[in-house]
Amino acid sequence: MIRLVAFAGSSRRGSFNRKLVRIAAEGASSAGAQVEILELSEYPMPLMNEDLEAEKGMPEAAGRFKRKLLEADGFIISAPEYNSSMTPLLKNSLDWASRSETPDEKPLSAYRGKTAVLMSASPGSLGGMRGLVPLRLMLMELGVTVLPVYRCISSANEAFEEDGSLKNGRDMKAVMGLGAALCRALERGDHGEG
């Protein structure tokens, strides 16, 4: 069975991106994947600092997050846009998980050979699209295959129902379709080198 982890680059209560990633996760589950939704707030990490790493090793929460990525075949990520980039929370989490914990661990073991699908939601008119560009670049440099399909939900403050679903049925279907597309790509073997 395809194993996925899904997470948003926001820990804000009522986060639009946390709602969005749950919809995509539902689509992946419906397509047959086993999906675990992670809350980055449950993995509190200090800012990535090589001196801290040298003195104390990888922080416990960073190690737990990294293990979730290691165990997964792919990632569903919904990323808010902060100043045309990704959030510090998301960048820091991904940075810590990129670190090797032992001398014999292969570099970027949490990322190489994995596949991801991206999405975003924002009150703005572009739906967070600009933040996906640096995230896509970073993931690809880490060895992740990023699917070319994505969805950005604009006017996100008006886009969701009380139950967390999207009011626009076409958007709802498209976001669920992202999760299903990731599942299908992994089943076909359309992902990077291990």
Specify the 3-state DSSP secondary structure of 148: strand
Give me the torsion for CA of 37, 144, 11, 42, rounded to 10°. 60
What confidence tens digit (pLDDT) does each residue in 88-142 have? Answer: 999 999 999 999 999 999 999 999 999 999 999 999 999 999 999 999 999 999 9
132 contacts 150 by C-beta, under 8 angstroms: yes
* Residue 163, C-beta contacts closer than 8 angstroms, at least 6 positions apart: none
What confidence tens digit (pLDDT) does each residue in 138-163 have? Answer: 999 999 999 999 999 999 999 999 99
> In the prediction, which pLDDT does 194 show?
37
Q: How many CB atoms lie within 10 A of CB 135?
A: 23
Distances (CA, A) of 26 to 21, 34, 36, 157, 183: 9, 10, 10, 21, 11
As for how many domains the chain has, the answer is: 1
Domain that holds residue 165: 3-188
Tokens of 71: 């165990």
Please indicate, yes or no, if residue 62 is contained in any of the structural domains: yes
Tokens of 163: 């139950």
Please indicate, yes or no, if residue 193 is contained in any of the structural domains: no
Please indicate, yes or no, if residue 194 is contained in any of the structural domains: no
The domain spanning residue 33 has which CATH number? 3.40.50.360
